[in-house]
């Protein structure tokens, strides 16, 4: 038996998980697609309308003039093939050209005016962070959302150290305390603020027996620590596998111990990823956590998602979970114990990820053989833990979460010098 200990953020809860070392065969050669109708694969979540909206988002963020405009973020509605662009400032010629391009693509584009610009929201978040973890009467923030579809301001999530002991996370901050903190933060930042209770949980925790070049979604084991592999990055002509920055052990291996993922070479800043020394492939594992056939799919590019989009996770410990909705974007999340903050996206669904899925890929399927790289699994939202959630009756019981934070693959690559996404 392999014993693993996991620490919940804020150091309040420690749980021990047991992993039975099952005898498994190495995954078959990379490039093995699941047969039609196979259970727990990515094909069921293909959405042609969302594909069109994501392509439009990729075109939009590629516009040089967008950086100095009032654009904040997009909110997509694939059922109506429409997108709402949050925008600060008066109507411009750029808005008209964006709407015209949307019309040409059959997409309805509307604009929602916001009072505060993206720069103002980012500055407000920076002022909160400058107070430190305990700078507001013991309130410990775990994430700051600078873009919320229903609130023109910042949303700060966290808990108080005094209240969290002996209480469940949702009750760690009562409504009166949250209201008082909201007013205090608004006075500090000159931007409306909303405070929500909630702490975060790192998910470092087959995919069992992959081989170099390694796929995304493979299991990495070192002593008591397990994590998942992410999408690979190409650096100076060589492809390297990645994982989450808080997966800090130096000798990760496959479950059997027969193959090594190497050591961390360097970290991505805002992307909170870690480039490993082992080689990586342009493919990602498909299917359930215990799929022994080695089903995988080819990576064909970035998935530039917006609020409202549906995406999938594919961590090594819990396998594929689809239908996860992007709820908030441009969050700045505390990366305890990784030591630095990162720019995050918040997602929510039936099952987001479980312990051991940290570093695993977030994606959208483009067709039955190809996927787009959206990002990387980072942390679970402690407000939405699924108690005693069993991945398999014959395997183990893992703490899993309905919601959590991810980082963008485009951000990861952009914060690793001379890097690019490895394609299949």
Query: What topology does CATH give the domain 2-45+207-421?
Result: Thrombin, subunit H (2.40.10)
List, for residues 108-135, the tens digit of each pLDDT value: 999 999 999 999 999 999 898 888 766 6
Structure confidence at residue 157 as a pLDDT band (50, 70, 90) = confident
The pLDDT > 90 percentage for the chain reads 48
* CA distance linking residue 275 with residue 10, whole number of Å: 26
Q: What is the pLDDT of residues 332-359, one digit of tens each?
A: 776 655 557 888 899 999 989 888 899 9
Give the Cα separation of 46 and 48 in Å (integer).
6
Query: What's the pLDDT score for residue 198?
Result: 66
Per-residue model confidence (pLDDT) at position 80: 95
């Amino acid at each position: 038996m392999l014993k693993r200990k996991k620490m919940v953020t804020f150091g309040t809860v420690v749980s021990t998980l047991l992993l039975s070392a099952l005898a498994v065969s190495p995954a078959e050669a990379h490039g093995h697609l699941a047969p039609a109708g196979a259970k727990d694969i990515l094909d069921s979540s293909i959405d042609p309308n969302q594909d069109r909206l994501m392509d439009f988002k990729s075109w939009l963020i590629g516009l040089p003039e967008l950086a100095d405009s009032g654009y904040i973020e997009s909110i997509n509605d694939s059922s109506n093939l429409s997108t709402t662009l949050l925008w600060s400032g008066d109507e411009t010629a750029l808005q008209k050209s964006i709407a015209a391009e949307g019309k040409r693509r059959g997409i309805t584009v509307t604009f929602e005016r916001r009072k505060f610009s993206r720069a103002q929201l980012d500055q407000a978040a920076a002022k909160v962070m400058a107070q430190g973890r305990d700078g507001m009467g013991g309130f410990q923030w775990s994430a700051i959302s600078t873009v919320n579809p229903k609130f023109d301001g910042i949303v700060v999530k966290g808990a108080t150290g005094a209240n969290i002991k002996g209480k469940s996370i949702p009750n760690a901050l009562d409504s009166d305390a949250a209201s008082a903190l909201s007013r205090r933060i608004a006075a500090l930042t000159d931007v409306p603020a909303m405070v929500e209770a909630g702490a975060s949980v790192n998910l470092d925790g087959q995919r069992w027996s992959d081989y170099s070049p390694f796929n995304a979604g493979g299991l990495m084991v070192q002593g008591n620590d397990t994590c998942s592999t992410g999408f690979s990055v190409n650096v100076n002509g060589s492809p390297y596998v990645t994982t989450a920055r808080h997966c800090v052990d130096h000798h990760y291996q496959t479950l059997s111990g027969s193959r090594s993922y190497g050591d961390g070479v360097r970290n991505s800043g805002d992307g909170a990823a870690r480039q490993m020394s082992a080689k990586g492939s342009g493919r990602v594992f498909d299917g359930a956590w215990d799929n022994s056939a080695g089903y995988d799919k080819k990576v064909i590019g970035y998935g530039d998602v917006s609020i409202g989009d549906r995406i999938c996770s594919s961590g090594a410990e819990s396998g594929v979970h689809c239908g996860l909705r992007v709820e908030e974007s441009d969050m700045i999340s505390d990366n305890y114990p990784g030591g630095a903050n990162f720019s995050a996206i918040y997602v929510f669904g039936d099952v987001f990820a479980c312990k051991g899925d940290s570093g695993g890929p977030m994606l959208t399927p483009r067709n039955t053989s190809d996927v787009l790289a959206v990002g990387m699994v980072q942390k679970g939202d402690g407000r939405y833990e699924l108690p005693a959630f069993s991945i398999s009756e014959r395997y183990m019981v893992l703490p899993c979460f309905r919601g959590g934070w991810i980082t963008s693959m485009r951000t990861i690559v952009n914060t690793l010098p001379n890097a690019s996404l490895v394609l299949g």
